[in-house]
Structure 1
Amino acid sequence: MDGDDVRAAVEEAVGFLVRVPDPAAPVLDTDVAGVVWHIGTCLHWYGHDLVMGRVDLTAGRWEPDPDAGYGRLVTGLASWGEVLARVLEAADPAERGFHPWGAPDPAGFAAMACAEVLVHTGDVAEALDLPWAPPPDLAAAVLARLFPGAPADQDPATTLRWATGRADLPGRPRPASWSYAAAAD
């Protein structure tokens, strides 16, 4: 996966998220705006984590501006996605970055970014009972990179939600826990 995949995932998400009628609606343990912030911080940190190599950068906090408004959060998400895409494009494929689950290469960071964008946008859609599904090709690429043991004979969007413990698949138990297989070595 690469920067163009990140751009495509973010474009799909932003196109949906700008139409959300109530950014304060509850989703997961926060609200829609909080989920958008979470996605954006993932993209932000993935770029930093790749650039800094295998160094753990978790030394501080980055907090949202409570006065920024939902529109600026969504615009920020688009911006953070573009910054990460450019970092990925500039990176050598042999580079490795830090992640608690291993040392991903640029393709691993791209896959994790796409997963965060697609899965959490799906969380918003499900919580608000709004129609949205990730593009099947992107979901399939995320599954191939991050969940290589996931079944390939089902709808990729549903399988991605299943792999992250969010949906059922016929004849398969829902995973009790999960993690990304993003490490390149």
Structure 2
Amino acid sequence: MNPVSAADLDAAIASLAGGLRPAASKDWTTAAGTGDLDAWHTAEHIGDCLLSYAAQLVSRRPSGYLPFLASLAKDASSADALEFALAGSAILAAVVRTSPPEARAYHPTGTADPGGFAAMGCAEVLVHGEDVARGLGLALDPPRDVCARTVARLFPHLGDVSDLDPWTALSWAMDRVEVPGRAKQTGWRWRGAPPEE
């Protein structure tokens, strides 16, 4: 399986944009998002999270997160929220693209390399993007090859999932769907560190 790359993150971003732009004029503060968050705050979370990953990788911080939060202005529109999520994602893709393979930085699930941050970015964009889409009565249609590489990179402990559609496998791994015959992934955790480390 090829490592997750900046190109995979680009494809995840394109899926997010294509899936959510048709609803950018709706009120995302009244639509469900992730957990207790509405769609607007879920999009804000995507932008903040991916900017944080980019900062970690640029700084190569060996322990702890850089102590900052990126947030939307209180009067930001739904379209602004989507653009913030897309911008954070694109910045992470640019940082992954320009980071040497040996770069490492802190993440609570293991010191990660550029491919690990790319995989985490893909998972955040696609799964939280789907959370937003569902709240708006839509659905994403992510590239299956990106989903397969993301699952292989982040969830090696789940074993062989090649019998599942890769998007279903990623959604199951992050406890968004149940799969008959497989344990529910309550309390899921991915692996940030490279497989060989």
TM-score bin, normalised by smaller chain? over 0.9
Give, in whole Å, the separation in 1 of the partners of 2:87 and 2:68.
21
Residue 37 of structure 1 corresponds to 44
Name the counterpart of 2:128: 120
Q: 1:131 aligns with which of 136, 139, 149?
A: 139
- Return 77-86 or 40-49, whichever deviates more: 77-86
What per-residue deviation string (whole Å, max 9, x for no partner) do you get for residues 89-123 of structure 1?
11110110111111010000000000000111111
Please list, as runs of the form range in 1=range in 2, the aligned pairs for 1:1-185 lying within 5 A after superposition: 1-20=4-23, 21-24=26-29, 25-27=31-33, 28-53=35-60, 54-148=62-156, 149-150=158-159, 151-184=161-194, 185=197
- Where 2:28 maps in the other structure, the secondary structure is coil
CA contact (8 A) 1:49 1:55 kept: no
Count of aligned positions = 185
CA distance in 2: counterparts of 1:57 and 1:173, whole angstroms: 32
Residue 61 of structure 1 deviates from its aligned partner by 3.3
Deviation at 1:58, TM superposition (A): 4.3
Q: Comparing 10-19 with 110-119, which one deviates more in the overlay? A: 10-19
Kindly report structure 1 stretches of 4+ aligned residues shifted beyond 6 Å: none
Alignment gaps of 5+ in structure 2: none
Gaps of 5+ in 1: none
1:40–1:80: 8 Å Cα contact kept in structure 2?
A: yes
User: In 1, Cα distance between the equivalents of 2:57 and 2:88?
Assistant: 14
Q: TM-score, structure 1 length as denominator?
A: 0.92
Letter in 2 for 1:38: H
TM-score (norm 2): 0.87
Secondary structure (helix, strand or coil) at the match of 2:192 reads coil
Q: Structure 2: how far apart are the matches of 1:61 and 1:47?
A: 13
Given that 2:103 and 2:113 are in contact with CA atoms closer than 8 Å, whether structure 1 keeps it comes out as: yes
How far 1:45 sits from its partner (Å)? 0.5
More displaced 10-residue stretch of structure 1: 126-135 or 34-43? 126-135
